[in-house]
Amino acid sequence: MTTLYSGGSLIDGAGTVLAEHGVLVEGTVIKRLAPIGEFAGFEGNRVDTSGGTLLPGLIDCHVHICFGAEGNPWAAMMALRESQMTMRALDNAQMTLRGGVTAIRDCGGKEYLEFAVRDACNDGRQFGPTIRASGRVICMTGGHGNRHGRIADGPDEVVKAVREQIHAGSDLIKLMATGGVMTPGVNPEDAHYTFEEISAGIAEGHRFNRTCASHAQGSEGILNAVRGGIDSIEHGIFMTEECVEEMTARGTYLVPTLAAVKNIIANKDNGVPAYAVEKCERVTVEHVKSIRMFYEAGGKIAMGTDAGTPYNRHGQNALELEYMVNDTGISPMDAITISTRNGADLMRLEDRGTIAEGKAADMLIVDGDPLTDITRVSRRENHRMVVKNGIQVTGG
């Protein structure tokens, strides 16, 4: 089917606003983007975007679709059978799509159950976002993620663990450079993998054309990962000027996940483990400061939420744009670019992330102008329509 979207304004995902333009979608792709006058006489299906803004579907580069955002997601997940967990992962992916996010990167699941959901969504057997998945996170003995990750110590064992993820069908490699909030008994500031260990894992991932992401919160662990050639730093809480300088020089992405800490703090009395609350209260100020410093230095940022962590709900991923703008001073236009084009770049989704001819028709239409009011895109109640591969998922 061919559909013309026109009437409102358009943000292309690459920093440009276009007025009085039409977007002609043919099948799954954007066939033509042009001034509306070029479509005079078009008699096919039309969607009127008047009073609203059309922009690319959002891209979340850090989610956990096997986690359900309970106060203690790990305990809740362990109470489920594998079949139940797989169905919940599909539900979470579909809720995410309905919330305006048309592509996600799953950064750690459970026994590869999320791969079945990824494959079903990517090949069209189930409706859902485009999914890239890391498989099991790779961590040291006793390290962050050890309850469900692949434990590996020493460079040779880390290389073996990377090969296992590739053999299982992973799209990217996730390595745990530091401690973290949701694992008891570890300190977010502590470096876990040595430079030799993490660089060996990154090199092996790159050798097989996988991008590599690193959970990295403390500065020493961040630097180990960056110097080892990591593609993205996840969280980046305790960044120093040295971290910022080395990341910007190398073009390393930062995926901030503001929603993760923010939701734990807001729900600290609702079943969140005390150790996680204590660590979040300790890191929250430094987290915002680090993101602001990196942004002001011109660093590359891609949106990520850590959806699935406590009260960080799938389908509410777009709230991350609001946090970026209101908490860290990122401009609305930059927040949109971070959440569209940059995410596609990090995930190597060459056919997505912008509104342009030949790109996949992944689009979000919102009421009003998100450049003057970021809640137009961050709040689901302001979403008018979600389009995935040319199919209208919500609205219409």
| The pLDDT value given to residue 70 | 96
Query: For residues 198 and 155, what is the distance between their CA atoms, to the nearest angstrom?
Result: 7
| The pLDDT value given to residue 65 | 98
CATH class, range 58-317:
alpha beta
Torsion of CA 239, 245, 246, 248, to 10 degrees: 100
Beta strands at 2-6 and 52-56: parallel, antiparallel or unpaired: unpaired
Query: For residues 279 and 237, what is the distance between their CA atoms, to the nearest angstrom?
Result: 12
| The pLDDT value given to residue 252 | 98
Q: Provide the 3-class DSSP secondary structure of residue 154.
A: coil
CATH architecture for residues 2-56+354-394: Roll (2.30)
Is the dihedral angle over the CA atoms 246, 251, 252, 258 positive or is it negative? positive
User: Which pLDDT tens digit goes with each residue over 166-203?
Assistant: 999 999 999 999 999 999 999 999 999 999 999 999 99
The partner residues of 191 in beta bridges, in order of sequence, read 178
Exposure of 12 in the CB half-sphere (CA atoms within 13 A): 16
What averages of pLDDT result for each successive group of 10 residues across the chain (396 residues)?
Answer: 96 97 98 96 94 98 97 91 96 98 97 97 97 98 94 98 98 97 93 97 98 98 98 98 98 98 95 94 94 98 98 98 98 98 98 98 98 98 98 90
Q: What angle do CA 204, 205, 208 make, to 5 degrees?
A: 90
Q: Kindly report the length of the chain.
A: 396
Beta strands at 9-11 and 52-56: parallel, antiparallel or unpaired: parallel
Query: For residues 264 and 311, what is the distance between their CA atoms, to the nearest angstrom?
Result: 7
Burial label for 91, CB within 10 Å (0-12, 13-18, 19+), is: middle
**Per-domain residue ranges of the chain:** 2-56+354-394, 58-317
63, 306 Cβ separation under 8 angstroms: yes
45, 2 Cβ separation under 8 angstroms: yes
| The pLDDT value given to residue 74 | 86
Query: For residues 182 and 112, what is the distance between their CA atoms, to the nearest angstrom?
Result: 20
| CA distances to 146, 182, 301 from 179, in Å | 10, 9, 22
User: Same CATH topology for 2-56+354-394 and 58-317?
Assistant: no
| The pLDDT value given to residue 41 | 86
CB atoms within 10 A of CB 185: 9
Which helix (H) or strand (E) covers residue 81, if one does? none
- The answer to whether the pTM exceeds 0.95 is yes
Exposure of 29 in the CB half-sphere (CA atoms within 13 A): 8
